[in-house]
Amino acid sequence: MKRLFMMLAGAMIVCTLSAQVVEQGEGAMVYYSPKTAISLDFTYTIETHETGIYAKYAESMLGIKEAERENTTLYTLTDVHIGTATTTDYSRPHKITADATVPMLLTINEKGLLVGYNLPYEAKTKPAPRKTADNANDLSRRIGKAAPFTEEVIKAATPQAQAKAVADQIMHIRETRMYLLSGEVEHAPADGTAMKYVLDELSRQERQLTELFVGKTSKRTEHKRIQIEPESQIEQKQHWFFSEENGFTTPENIDADTITMRLMLHPQKFVACNSNAKESKKKKGAEMSQIVYNLPGNGDIEVIFKGHTLAKRTVPLAQLGIDVPLSKDIFSGAALPIIVFSEKTGNIVSISK
């Protein structure tokens, strides 16, 4: 339905004119109002500890008591970004028929949304896909440098013998580094740069071998993206569940904590009337065009986890808006106006001549 507005006694009056129906054979342009969905982009980390294959020998051979014997994974929810996504509201079409006083110079995008009047429109081009590494480079990156095993480690017949040989190799690396730092070697690196390279390489080898006893910890960041179309209730909530052991999970997981999104809707308010179009025009004193823009409502969003607010934001919601017609006075004069409309809300961004 298309609506006509006028200001009477300080109140906004909205008059329903007619349904937007395109008749067969009728020359008309049709565009639609936008609809806003809420997007939540959750950020969480996954910290994984892989136990060392020689963990049970860590204390006896290297004196390391804190070596863990089990693989563990820890999920931590760190942040959430509240955004919006725009779709087309096919329940709110707007029909523009031929009018000698207002030329049909509408710019409508591929989604059927009004983006401008008397404004050239260039379709957005998709960004070029990122080049991915070839399989050989990817494999090299995942494997990294090979562990610096000695012949004794490779030929060891039992896991205990292997662990003993690796422990001896770690001790040898530590002694070598100590001799280099104290200057007790015959053929030391010639300069500081070379010395740094040798020490860094020894540290890398020691770390890689020690991980066979104490295990290896890795940490990566992941995202979970959720898109919500608000319902009609003024106040509403949605829930998700997150645990340290499983990340995003189901409500049946008793170890999970609840993520709650609170949403308070604020539609644009108007007072309906039964006046017809001609009476409205007389009271307003100006003739309205068929072109309408959307005056959006908004929503207050808060995301709560473990009793703390992760994020809070007010966003415009196009479907809570009302249609406001442009006066024909805007299109009078020698030059036609250039009008830019927001694709996200349907509101006016700018008017210039």
Render pLDDT for 46-68 as a digit per residue (tens, 0 to 9). Answer: 999 999 889 898 888 988 887 77
pLDDT-derived band at 308 (thresholds 50, 70, 90) equals: very high
pLDDT > 80? residue 123: no
d(CA 310, CA 42): 10
Residue 232 has pLDDT above 80, yes or no: yes
Rounded Cα distance, 110 and 114, in Å? 10
Nearest Cα to 18, choosing from 353, 348, 290? 290
- Tell me: pLDDT of 342 over 90: yes
> Does position 304 have pLDDT exceeding 60, yes or no?
yes
pLDDT of residue 253: 94
Please give the Cα distance from 75 to 46 (Å, whole number).
5
Picking from 195, 346, 165, the residue whose alpha carbon sits closest to that of residue 268 is 346
12 has a pLDDT exceeding 90: no
Residues 131-157 have pLDDT tens digits of 554 544 443 444 445 567 788 888 888
Nearest to 173 by CA among 62, 274, 337: 62
Over residues 115-124, the mean pLDDT reads 77
Quick check: pTM over 0.75? no
Give the CA distances from residue 168 to residues 6, 34, 163, in Å, rounded to whole numbers and listed in that order.
89, 70, 9
What local confidence, expressed as pLDDT, does residue 26 receive?
56
Predicted confidence (pLDDT) per residue in 237-249, tens digit: 999 999 999 999 9
Poorest-pLDDT segment among 88-102, 114-128, 152-166: 114-128
Predicted confidence band of residue 269 (pLDDT cuts 50, 70, 90): confident
What is the percentage of the chain residues whose pLDDT exceeds 90?
56
Tell me the mean pLDDT in the region 8-32.
53
Shortest CA distance to 176 belongs to which of 148, 159, 153, 198? 198
pLDDT one-digit tens code per residue, 209-229: 999 999 899 999 999 999 999
What lies within 8 Å, CB to CB, of 292 at 6+ separation is 2, 3, 94, 323, 324, 325, 326
Confidence of residue 25 (pLDDT cuts 50, 70, 90): low
Average pLDDT of the chain to the nearest whole number? 83
pLDDT for 154 equals 83
Tens digits of per-residue pLDDT, 162-200?
A: 999 999 999 999 998 888 888 777 777 778 888 899 899
Domain residue ranges in the chain? 3-39+84-123+230-352, 55-74+133-219
Q: What is residue 254's predicted lDDT score, i.e. its pLDDT? A: 92
Asked whether 117 and 107 are in contact (CB, 8 A), the reply is yes
Q: Lowest mean pLDDT: which of 13-17, 116-120, 217-221?
A: 13-17
- Residue 3: its pLDDT value, please? 35
Amino acid 18: pLDDT: 38
Q: How far is CA 333 from CA 97, 101, 290, in A?
A: 21, 11, 18
Q: So what's the pLDDT on residue 140?
A: 42
Which of the pair, 328 or 16, is modelled with greater confidence? 328
As a whole number of angstroms, the distance between CA 276 and CA 160 comes to: 94
